[in-house]
Amino acid sequence: MFLNGTVLSTHLIVDCCDGSDEYDGSVICPNTCIMGGNVPYKMVNHATTGDLGSVDTLKNRNGIKFEDSVQKLKGFAYALTHFNFKKMLLGAIKLRASFCPSRDSFLQLSKIHFSSSSGLLEDSFRAIVEAKAYEQIPDLLSASKESCLNSNPFSFLSSFTQIYRTQLIDDILRSFIPVRPRSRLQVAYSCLLSYTLQSDSPLPLALAILQRTLRSGCVPVPQTRLLLSSSWLDHRQQSQSVCKILLEMLSIGYNPDCGTCNYLITSLCKVDQWKEAIQVLKSMAGAGCIPDLDSYVSVVDAMCELRRTTDVAELMREMVTKFGLNPRQEMVLKVAATMRLNKEIWRAVEMIEFLQREGIHVTFESYELVVEGCLECREFVLAGKVVTEMTRRGYIPYIRVRQKVIDGLAGAGEWELAYAVRERLAELNS
């Protein structure tokens, strides 16, 4: 067996099929077995590569027939499956850690191993943990993506105590920090996060893994949102406060941050747990992470879909007055449109006026939407006041809207306001 051209052993020492002796490749097995039977077989000591070689190569070296070569390859696969590959791999990992060859050779060794049996994946990870060669985990997973679909390679961690398991995962996470390119970590983070979220005590460790995943630029798989929401709600049912759960990250050496909380908020909104999402949003500051615009976007969007305009109006005021955030114009438009659908145009006008007082820029589209809502509700006086405010900011409504406002004011007997609006529009047009 070879690793990066270095000879690890010139003989493959395994038990013969009858258990009577060890077969080292230099003697003839008396039985017809997986080690080649009565066909002479001998390891080539001057090999320089880590592969098995082609069938033609075997024939040229030993003069063995094609059928015999196939039999020997089957025997080698059987040996990989049934003999203690864990010790062999552990030795290879330790040797690699000493000489530090390229990761491509290690990846080649991993592919040979995993192609023989997906059931050895867990033993391989256990060997890596024992060798503390955590930086090799991404390469192993790259060589065994299909095996990861059937079983999580980190499942063996369940045999450890929670304290030791937490320490191991923390060591693994820290070993991933210098790995480049970071895209290599996608599968590793996904498997680790999936395992932790489905363990007995997922939090706060899962939040730490999520934090490292997001900071590395990797995207958690879609089912992570459901698993995270479920784990979070289970903890909350144990009468633990939001702030307390978030601050538990400190006990394992991690600080709550905005990105992790935002992902949690979005996940809760995805499963219609908007009340819990609001609780997380309001508790973020107490946990030491100040909400940003993205923190509010998910909750506001969820409230708009449910047309809960009272909650939306409160959130808009909170984000501006308490945290000094300027809502994106897409958010303002969505909130105004929701209030218009609810026939609560007065609330929309109040929101626009509030944003103006706070010095936040309001676009022409937002004004136009509010004016049209006033016309739909036949609030012509209110529409006239909004148009007047638009003109002060240099906005001129569309001709159709202008005409409807003036005609509506005249029909309601508000001649003075209708005249003032018309004069103001004429000044801007000139």
pLDDT for position 59: 44
> Are the beta carbons of 64 and 58 closer than 8 angstroms?
yes
Tokens 């025997």 sit on residue: 75
Residue whose C-alpha is closest to residue 253's, from 172, 160, 167: 167
pLDDT for position 68: 53
pLDDT tens for each residue of the chain, 430 residues long: 333 333 333 334 344 444 444 444 444 444 444 444 433 333 333 333 334 344 344 444 445 454 454 454 445 444 444 444 445 545 544 544 444 444 444 444 444 444 334 457 778 888 888 899 999 999 888 777 665 667 888 988 999 999 999 999 999 999 999 999 999 999 999 999 999 999 999 999 999 999 999 999 999 999 999 999 999 999 999 878 999 999 999 999 999 999 999 999 999 999 999 999 999 999 999 999 999 999 999 999 999 999 999 999 999 999 999 999 999 999 999 999 999 999 999 999 999 999 999 999 999 999 999 999 999 999 999 999 999 999 999 999 999 999 999 999 999 999 999 999 999 888 887 4
> Are the beta carbons of 193 and 204 closer than 8 angstroms?
no
DSSP per residue, 227-239:
HHHHHHHHHHTTT
Instruction: Give the dihedral of Cα atoms 253, 255, 260, 265; nearest 10 deg.
Output: 120
Write down the pTM of the prediction. 0.73
d(CA 135, CA 103): 10
> Are the beta carbons of 164 and 118 closer than 8 angstroms?
no
Question: E strands along 83-183, which residues?
Answer: none
Please write the tens of the pLDDT for every residue from 116-139: 344 577 788 888 888 999 999 998
d(CA 77, CA 116): 6
pLDDT for position 177: 95
pLDDT for position 117: 47
pLDDT for position 19: 43
> Which long-range contacts (C-beta less than 8 Å, at least 24 apart) are formed by 97-105?
97/131, 97/133, 99/4, 99/6, 101/3, 101/4, 101/6, 102/4, 103/136, 103/139, 105/3, 105/4, 105/5, 105/50
pLDDT for position 139: 87
pLDDT for position 221: 94
d(CA 422, CA 407): 10
